[in-house]
Each structure stands twice: as structure tokens, then as C-alpha cells.
Amino acid sequence: MKKFILISAIGCVLAITLACSKKSGPSLPPFQPIEQPVKTYGFESTVSWADEFDYTGAPDANKWTYDTGGSGWGNNELQNYTTSTDNAMVKDGALTITAKKESSGGRDYSSARVVSRNNNDMLYGRYEIKAKLPSGTGTWPAIWMLPNDYAYGPWPNSGEIDIMEHVGYDPNNVHFSVHNQLFNAGNAKTSTKRIETAFTDYHVYRCDWTPETIKGYYDDELVFTYTNDKKGSAGWPYDKPFHFLLNIAVGGNWGGVKGVDNAIFPVTMQVDYVRFYKLKS
């Protein structure tokens, strides 16, 4: 019995001591989660790579090469791409790509597909092109980008960025798109803007590409946003260097949906400049 009384007394003393210590001790502030800073990106103000087309003749061989041939290019296109200055010529401060109705390489149309030489600096940055588009049913001009190396496999697994596409049967509706393993062909991620003077005036077509997003701007207006899902290359193969392509296709699975009006030829796409600004480090 004495042991029980002693233990009970000790317990009471401990309880009182603990209660007092809780009351008199410093109180902890409520838990506050640490906010991660939002990543922001900027672009250098000086161009890293550009062509202002301030010369005369064929596109600068130090900056451009060509895709050639009349294979249909996976889209049942009708043109033969050449290296002729009849189809790609720099004059009066602009590159002019011309599609013609003529026999060429076993095809009934000729055109050009001008490609920037592989430049491994073109990974993330601002890509800006000032251009005037061709009109007429059957035309399919494009200003776009493909990977230098198909690290994630053949198209569309390694990605494609279409800064500007237009089909002549749907005049003045201009499209910005991306293609990858998850989104391609009929379900590509696409936005459309109507530009009433796309054929008569120059407009600036732009892509801002960072590790987080691909954003499209037409005349500085945001028209498209695609966000990195952080789940791998299937949805984001856009972590490798890409290069420019400038071309006019004729007909094809999209451009030729309503046939080709032969009365429109020759047709031209004029490019005032092409500029690339690096992402700021």
C-alpha cells in the first residue's frame, strides 16, 4: 500500500511538472509549406542565327540546304522539290519560294523546301519568321521545325513544331501545331487564328520554346500553348535541337482536300527574315 501511495504521488508530481512545462515553454509557429519559386524564362536580345535575305541569288549555302524529290512526302503531295532558283530565290530583301504548274521530276508541279543546316544551338529559344503567304486552292505552305536527330524514333515520336501552316481552300485561317507520339496527324495539338491579310501583307509568326512550354504568337498575339507534362518523350520529345523548314506543298492529304486549282499558278511565299534568339542561361 505504501508503494502504491508513493508511486501515485510521484505520478502526480510528474503530471503537474509536465503540464507546467507545456504552459510555460515556447510555442511552435504553425506549419508553413515552402513555396517553390515560379520559373521564368527570357530570351537574348541579340540574334544567335538569322537570315535577313539582304543579298541576291540562291539561299545562302552556309545557312540553307534543300529537301528534294517528288516522293509525296508521306502526305500524297503532288510537287517535286528542286534546288532551282526558279523555285527558291533571294531578291529585293526577301526569300521567294515559288510553286509552279510544270513537269518536274515526274510530277506535274515544282516547288522548293528550304532547310536550315543543322545547328545544334537551336534548342530552346525564340524563333521568329516574317512572311507573306500564297493563296489558292491546293496550296499548302508551311514554316516549321523538325529534330536534327530522331533520338526518340521516327516521326512523330521525335516531335514536330509547325509555326505556321495554311491550306488554300480555307483562306486566311492560319494554324500553329505540335506533333508527337501522343498527339499527331488527326489529333495534333493545334490552334487557329484568322489573319485577313495573310496573302497581301507580311505577318510575324513566332515560337517561344522553353523547357516548360511551347508557345505560338502571331503578330505578338499568343495563339497557342503546349505544356511539358513531365512524363517523358511520348508527350515531350522537345528537348533536342531542331531546325527550320520553309516550303510550299501542292495538294496532299490536307492541302488537296478540295483539289487543286491550276489557274492559280505560279504562287509564291515570301519570307522577309528568319531569326533565332537563344534562351537566356
Q: What gap in Å lies between CA 124 and CA 223, rounded to an integer?
A: 19
Q: What gap in Å lies between CA 242 and CA 163, rounded to an integer?
A: 13
Q: What gap in Å lies between CA 25 and CA 45, rounded to an integer?
A: 57
Q: Which of 35, 52, 102, 160 is catalytic?
A: 160
Q: What gap in Å lies between CA 142 and CA 247, rounded to an integer?
A: 6
**Chain segment 73-84, per-residue pLDDT in tens:** 999 999 999 999
Nearest to 278 by CA among 62, 128, 144, 123: 123
**Chain segment 177-197, per-residue pLDDT in tens:** 999 999 998 899 999 999 999
The whole-number pLDDT of residue 7 equals 42
The whole-number pLDDT of residue 3 equals 43
77: annotated active-site residue = no
**The CATH number of domain 51-278 is 3.40.50.620:** no
pTM listed for this prediction: 0.86
Q: Which of 102, 165, 212, 221 is catalytic?
A: 165
For the chain, the structural domain boundaries read 51-278
Confidence at 117, pLDDT banded by 50, 70, 90: confident
Torsion of CA 119, 149, 238, 146, to 10 degrees: 70
52: annotated active-site residue = no
